[in-house]
Chain A
Amino acid sequence: MEQLKGRIIYRGKAEGEALVTSMPISFYGGVDPNTGVILEKGHELEGQSVKDKILVFPQGKGSTVGSYTLYRMKKNNTAPAAMINKETETIVAVGAIISEIPFVDKIDLSKIKKGETVKVENENVTIL
């Protein structure tokens, strides 16, 4: 069991299976808000669903409308259970806050492997 500590962007508690990528994610246009499936051509996670996952990625990219896409996913029950970033930026941070998705950044992402069960509680990330 490994404990990591980061910076809270939106506080909260969630546990789930880690979905990990080293590539930034564009929520607007890059993720289908109806299914949670990543659509971006050539993305490491293309075709995989972020729904109910602990989504681990370096940061967001693309249009600022992406904040609204995360909100839409939360309403559709297709949002990740929690998100972990290396260093976040405005789009995903604002998206997490308005959608109330637990979100922590400043985490060494190399410590988390795809498929591991991860618990996020405020600034604490525990790999179970």
Chain B
Amino acid sequence: MELTKQEKAMLDGKEGYAVKKSMEILVALGDIFGAEKLIDVGSVQVAGVSYHNLGDAGLDFLNSLAEDGRVKVLTTLNPAGMDLENWQQLGISPEFAEKQNLVIDAFTRMGILVSCTCTPYLIGNVPLYGEHIAWSESSAVTFANSVLGARTNREGGPSALAAAFVGKTPCYGLHLDENRVPDINVQVNAELSRLSDWGALGYAIGKKAENKIPYISGIKKATLDELKSFGASLVTYGAKPLFYIKDITPGAELQQQPKETVTIEKTDLDDAYNKINDQVDEIDFVCVGCPHCSIKEVAEIADLIRGKKVATGTELWVATSRTTKQLADKHGYTAIIEAAGGKFACDTCMAVAPLKGRFKALATTSAKGCFYSRQNLMKTKMGSMKECVDAAVTGKWNN
């Protein structure tokens, strides 16, 4: 990889330890993947925030970088392992909270915004069409590439941090036109009538387009919330973090429809529901917001649960960013949901909180949420927002 004089100086340690380490990471990745140069990035999203995943070693590493590392571009943070303010109410231990706060302190010293959300594009980190960025968090990467038309590879925590300290990333993979060409045509013949159908669609296409970029036809309309849920599921279940939907996502009009074609019928969605859903009736955990709820989704939940009560022995979590919750506070949605016994889980989510063994059965709108909750030994049910709120109120899944 060709380095400029300034980049060589950074690699030699002229800007300190964090920048040197970062350059070592970026140069190695560039060489591995055949990049010819580094390119400027407009923003960074850093994953690997939950102490549950980092452990003391990760914390040590972050502290060593925080000594002299300061980010050069707008940098936002993925969810942590707990709500940073309301962790006690969510059953997080004080020992865990103490460690998690040390992780957050390290990121704060680096100059990273403690946004703690997987939907940075909903709270002010919104890349432009064609802009190069270095994001981790697969659902956000997929949304940025596909819905916004920005350009990023699927970074890990350390490589995203490295890009933030240098302000650059190696130019390979999805930064280049030739690697953004769709390679499988997906004709969708199934009706999509509720939010979870988009998660099921992501599962079905993810399995048929493993490690490919799908070009999707047959979808007439979509909302931001639907595309957010679809992308999260698509990449969790196997596709590359980029999709095109004809007449809906930007850049689709510039691409040729690939020859290899698969179809998605109603039976494929049914099959996805069957694979994701377990046999279970009693629900002790309802969690919506994977990816984090938009304000529109929070409003929907408030509307559905107004005047009702969450069943004894069942918990309802609304996972969202703190910024979105502040809007919800203003509009009274928070009061309605909390009066019904629901809880807000800001700054965190079901994929990264230490939930192993806490709950037996999850109901959610999210296909991605089901995937990660299995690692936490939960049975899973996926359905519409209404089905999930009903499950919270009755403690049961009504088929």
Residues in A lying within 8 Å of B, measured CB to CB: 7, 9-10, 33, 63-65, 67-69, 71-73, 75-76, 88-91, 93-94, 97-98
Contacts and interface: CB of A to CB of B under 8 A. Distances in A.
Chain B interface SS verdict (over half): helix
A93 B29 contact: yes
A123 to B, nearest CB: 12
B57 A71 contact: yes
B97 interface: no
Contacts of B157: 64-65, 67-68
Contact of A94 (B29, B47, B54): B29
B156 A67 contact: yes
Q: How large is the interface on B (under 10, 10 to 19, 20 to 34, 35 or more residues)?
A: 20 to 34
B25 A98 contact: yes
Chain A interface SS verdict (over half): helix
Contacts of A69: 57
A114 to B, nearest CB: 26
Contacts, number: 68
B57 A65 contact: no
10 contacts: A10-B24, A63-B53, A65-B157, A67-B157, A68-B48, A71-B57, A71-B61, A73-B57, A94-B28, A98-B61
A97 B25 contact: yes
A94 B25 contact: yes
A10 B48 contact: no
Contacts of A65: 48, 53-54, 58, 157
Contacts of B24: 10, 97
B31 interface: yes
Interface of B: 21, 24-25, 28-29, 31-32, 47-48, 53-58, 60-61, 136, 156-159
Nearest to A29: B375
A7 B265 CA distance: 48
B60 A75 contact: yes
Given A9-B28, A71-B61, 7 more contacts: A63-B53, A65-B48, A69-B57, A88-B32, A91-B156, A94-B29, A97-B28
Contacts of A7: 31
